[in-house]
Amino acid sequence: MVQKNKIIFKDFCYLNNNILNYSILSRINQIYYFLHDIKKDYPSFDGWFYGKVVPGFFNKTRDIIIEEIDGQIAGISLVKIESERKLSTICVSDKFKNCGIGKKLFYRSFALLDTEKPFFTISQNNISKFHRIFQYYGFKKTRIIMDEHKKGLAEMYFNENY
């Protein structure tokens, strides 16, 4: 069984009832900058990350999975550990693509969410990057919403109500 909030990073810990120290703030900023290219499809990324992801980690409704290679972040997965069991974000560095990092992040996310069919949404701009892995895991497209996050861009929904 995978322990929530234990597999994330060595230096991420609670101090004096959630008072943040420098190493925690530094790690949060590393995660943010690794993921910040998402803003091109999700203009509200900053508010979502600092308003939902970070507080959600501390109140244990979200978790952050990081894969590192030689001290560099190779990939990150953000999961929402609530009733909807959502794989919120998965991102692999260009430098480490096609090395199995994405598959490993999916596997670890499934373990935390206790399902191989988590709820997942993705921008139409990124669907081709995930096509093979969605087929591999049998993800089912359940709906498409236009203009949800950005005008002229469709958001694809997978595995709703599984």
What pLDDT does 144 receive? Answer: 95
Domain count, the chain: 1
What pLDDT does 10 receive? Answer: 34
Other CB atoms closer than 10 Å to residue 27's CB: what's the count?
A: 19
What pLDDT does 83 receive? Answer: 78
**127 part of a folded domain:** no
Residues of the chain with pLDDT under 50: 1-17
**46 part of a folded domain:** yes
Least Cα distance to 88 among 96, 97, 74, 78 occurs for 78
Least Cα distance to 151 among 129, 131, 123, 130 occurs for 123
Which CATH number is 38's domain given? Answer: 3.40.630.30
What pLDDT does 162 receive? Answer: 61
Q: Please tell me the distance from the alpha carbon of residue 45 to that of residue 126, in angstroms, as a whole number.
A: 16
Phi/psi at 97 (nearest 5 deg)?
Answer: -70, 150
What percent helix, strand, coil does the chain show, rounded to 5?
Answer: 40, 25, 35
**5 part of a folded domain:** no
**61 part of a folded domain:** yes
Structure tokens at 145: 């919403």
pLDDT, tens only, 2-45: 434 333 333 344 433 455 566 788 889 999 999 999 999 898 99
**151 part of a folded domain:** no
Give the residue numbers spanning the domain of 106. Answer: 22-117
**71 part of a folded domain:** yes
**6 part of a folded domain:** no
**78 part of a folded domain:** yes
